[in-house]
Amino acid sequence: MERKVRVIDTTKCIGCRSCQVACKNWNQLPATETAFAGSYENPSDFSPDTWSRVRFNEYTNNGEVNWYFSFCSCMHCTEPICTNICPYDAIHKTDLGPVLVDMELCVGCGACAAACPYQVPKIGGGKSWKCTFCFDRISNGLEPACAKACPTNAISFGEASEKITEAEARVALLRENGYANAQIYGKEELGGLSVIYILADAPDKYGLPADPKFSLATFYLWKAASAPLKALAAVGLAAGTLSSWFKLRKDKVAQEKKEKESTLTKNR
């Protein structure tokens, strides 16, 4: 099964935030009260209740204000650092492309949030929260809610090979029409992302790191610090399983004793 990707054509984005609203609606995420912080961008960061948002990047060139809108969420990396650094093996990469957090295993330790080069996961209520790539939708043949809601088709979804070919053709067209810096972002970065951007200018204009990297120091620090926790979790799981077995065994013995006493009473 070929992995799926989401293509963000920033040249078609009008900053309407339909994608942002659709994400909240589909995932039943509550609204977040915010305050004006000097930008039309709202909210200004991810949170446990905000898994996607539109960046409003404003630049002035020769007295003219230029807007660079970009939809952002989890990149669902092909080689995600979060899956390797999680001490509880609570994060996994699916064949379709999405990187998912198993809420039954996640304890909200923050390792994934510290390691993510895009600073996406946010911790709340003892869990790590981020975009799921609408896995429940795409695994049933539907497109992500954000792509479905976009009125300008700035967000599209499909098989990686097909969508990347389309993105390359779009970039070639943009260059022919005067966008000399037009480029694809996400095809090579971090082994390839499941979110591909069509940019009209340099990545930093859109709030994207030109050369995203994860810190090896952070990786090894978390691995070293979490090793005892992982061992403790394994012991706790084993102890819990053993405790459950003893309880079940105790209940079974009590039931058998009760049934035996009942039979003796009837035979008298």
Q: Which pTM value belongs to this model? A: 0.81
Which among 190, 214, 238 is the end of a domain?
214
Q: Is the pLDDT of residue 170 over 60?
A: yes
Structure tokens at 168: 């390359």
pLDDT band at 2 (very low <50, low <70, confident <90, very high): confident
**pLDDT tens profile 114-164:** 999 999 999 999 999 999 999 999 999 999 999 999 999 999 999 999 999
* pLDDT value at residue 237: 46
The answer on 189 and 143 residing in a single domain is yes
For the chain, the average pLDDT equals 87
Return d(Cα 100, Cα 41) in angstroms, integer.
Answer: 27
pLDDT band at 36 (very low <50, low <70, confident <90, very high): confident
The answer on 201 and 151 residing in a single domain is yes
Residue 190: CATH number of its domain: 3.30.70.20
Confirm whether 219 is domain-assigned.
Answer: no
The total number of structural domains in the chain stands at 2
Edge to edge, what strands does the sheet with 4-9 contain? Answer: 155-159, 4-9, 195-199, 183-185
**pLDDT tens profile 197-236:** 999 999 999 999 999 987 655 555 655 655 565 555 545 5
Which among 214, 237, 255 is the end of a domain?
214
Confirm whether 129 is domain-assigned.
Answer: yes
The answer on 119 and 250 residing in a single domain is no
**pLDDT tens profile 42-61:** 898 999 999 999 999 988 88
The answer on 245 and 186 residing in a single domain is no
Long-range contacts of 165-169 (CB under 8 A, 24+ apart): 166/7, 167/7, 167/9, 167/196, 167/198
The answer on 63 and 25 residing in a single domain is yes
Confirm whether 223 is domain-assigned.
Answer: no
The answer on 235 and 197 residing in a single domain is no
Confirm whether 193 is domain-assigned.
Answer: yes
The answer on 91 and 130 residing in a single domain is yes
Confirm whether 19 is domain-assigned.
Answer: yes
Look up residue 68 and give its amino acid. Answer: Y
The answer on 99 and 5 residing in a single domain is yes
Confirm whether 222 is domain-assigned.
Answer: no
**pLDDT tens profile 68-95:** 999 999 999 999 999 999 999 999 999 9
Residue 238 sits in which domain range? 228-268
* pLDDT value at residue 213: 85
Tallying the residues shown for the chain, one arrives at: 268
